[in-house]
Amino acid sequence: MIVGIDHLVITVADLERTVSFYTQALGMTCVREPGRPAALTFGSQKINVHQKDHMIEPKASRPTPGSADFCLVTDRPLEEWLEVFQRHGVPLELGPVARTGARGRMSSIYFRDPDNNLIEIGRYD
């Protein structure tokens, strides 16, 4: 039985720009180990980051910067995230709006990372 998601992989055009965005604007931690992709960690999850011209095998059949669309869960009020976005110059795409996540009703905001991936931050009601 599947019980969770351990990590996901995003493909990016510029590794350093992506790491800077996720660590500064979203407070994630970057972990780097020789011979392994950069990893953005938060809570008990991680996002592996592959630069498009330095892919690690195996990989998706068509890894493309800007093709990701995923939701992150927060325990902070969304208003705090809006303030963080304003400080870091991150434009809001949509929200706050009502959504239904894996665990039920949530409120969400949407924005894009430097590769134009659509990121949702949701807070459960």
- Residues taking part in catalysis: 120
Side-chain half-sphere CA neighbours of 94 within 13 A: 10
Which of 81, 74, 13 has the alpha carbon at shortest distance from 49?
13
Three-state SS at 51: strand
Q: Cα(84)–Cα(69) distance, rounded to whole angstroms?
A: 21
